[in-house]
Amino acid sequence: MSEPVQTPQTFPTRIFSGIQPSGGLTLGNYLGALKRFVQKQDEGIETVYCLVDMHAITVWQDPARLRQQTREAAAGFIAAGIDPARSILFNQSQVTAHAELAWIFNCVARMGWMGRMTQWKDKTAGKNAEAASLGLFAYPALMAADILAYKATHVPVGEDQKQHLELTRDIAIKFNNDYGVNFFPITEPVIEGAGTRVMSLRDGTKKMSKSDPSDQSRINLTDDADTISKKFRKAKTDSEPLPSDLDGLKDRPDARNLVNVYAALADMTPEAVIADYAGAQFGTFKPALADLAVAKLSPITTKMSHLMQDPAEIDRILGEGADRANAIARPIVDEVYDIIGMIRSRHV
């Protein structure tokens, strides 16, 4: 990849992040992304949040379900605390700058960079990679376009997206070098807190994912209190009690995951959770975790289902967000066309 250049960071702070409406939102999306999106908004930073429906179709989506999932994700954002008056909230396909810049980045990024992406490898592992969509392979270039169409300086994400953020930086650096400009910022990932890597409840070595075939592996933001409790009580663990320090969880991924989830939900450090539950059996810890999860998630679930009763209002919010997003991204992408030498006579 290109040698990193020292680009002065003279760009105003702007946060961008997104979530794919490729299924219902999970506890992983909530703790790794959504909860932190709300914190950034509440810190008063300019925040742009996107339901990346064009990423979702890198694997086949039933059209009616995609529409439903996009509205449901928007409802999830608002129910979790995103205020569409303070943050920009929209779905990606309504702002064409994303697709336009993605094509340009397809021409900047190198095949070898994409081939090294672990998410590409994971998603095609054991399958016929030749049959995967070209979009799935090129996904990180679209993600770079999502971010850089806003010249976003910071992107809160879960641990799984770290490599894609590094690629975004490489694309920005190569573009700036190739055209001799200091046009794009070198975006910083923001990966912080205990919830950046929530693992499957059935296998503590695999991330919790909305596309996991087992519904028992994840908590969905639409699960009712009873379902949340049952899933935590049945979560895979070992037969040992909780240790007295974090080191004791090193080779116990399932137990470690539950401690991390507790910490992220309670806004505690994992060390503090271990201090409270040292020596406790899972028969004690799991019900406490289930109660905590229900207390934190139930208000969100209730608000989501209320919002979902008015899909036209959700569409209105997304449309308004798209107009505000377009007002930022359009001039940036028009300037990119100019930098790379494309005639834009209709826009003069």
Smallest CA-to-CA distance from 286 within 248, 230, 243, 327 is with 230
How far apart, in whole angstroms, are the C-alpha atoms of residue 188 and residue 15?
Answer: 10
If the CB atoms of residues 22 and 168 are measured against ligand AQP, the closer one turns out to be 22
Whether 210 is catalytic is yes
Find the shortest distance in angstroms from Cβ 327 to ligand AQP: 24
Q: Which stretch binds ligand AQP (CB under 6 A): 175-183, 195-203, 274-282, 285-293?
A: 195-203
Strands in 46-51's sheet, in edge-to-edge order, are 88-91, 46-51, 14-19, 154-156, 188-190
The residue number whose beta carbon is nearest to ligand AQP equals 32
Q: Which residue has the tokens 């007002």?
A: 327
Dihedrals phi, psi of 221, to nearest 5 degrees = -65, -10
What's the rounded Cα separation, in Å, for the pair 303 and 80?
9
Of 119 and 305, CB closest to ligand AQP:
119
Closest-CA residue to 173 (of 315, 2, 17)? 2
Is 197 near ligand AQP (CB under 6 A)?
Answer: yes
Would you give the distance in Å from CA 29 to the centre of its chain?
A: 6
Decide: is 29 part of the binding site for ligand AQP (CB under 6 A): yes
The count of residues interacting with ligand AQP (CB under 6 A) is: 21
Q: Decide: is 76 part of the binding site for ligand AQP (CB under 6 A).
A: no
Nearer residue to ligand AQP within complex by CB, 207 or 296? 207
For ligand AQP, which is the closer residue by CB, 191 or 294? 191
Give the residue with the Cβ less far from ligand AQP, 157 or 328: 157
Instruction: Round to whole Å and give the CA distance between 81 and 22.
Output: 21
The H-or-E segment that residue 16 falls in is strand 14-19
Which segment (7-15, 202-210, 231-239, 283-291) binds ligand AQP by CB under 6 A? 202-210
Cβ at position 70, least distance to ligand AQP in Å: 12
- Answer yes or no: are the C-beta atoms of 89 and 49 closer than 8 Å: yes
Which of 7, 26, 222, 237 binds ligand AQP (CB under 6 A)? It is: 26
CA angle 48, 54, 58 (to 5 degrees): 135
Q: Note if 123 is an active site residue.
A: yes
Q: Site map for ligand AQP, 31-50, x if CB under 6 A? A: -xx-----------------
Give me the residues that bind ligand AQP (CB under 6 A), please: 19-20, 22-23, 26, 28-29, 32-33, 157-158, 160-161, 196-198, 207-211
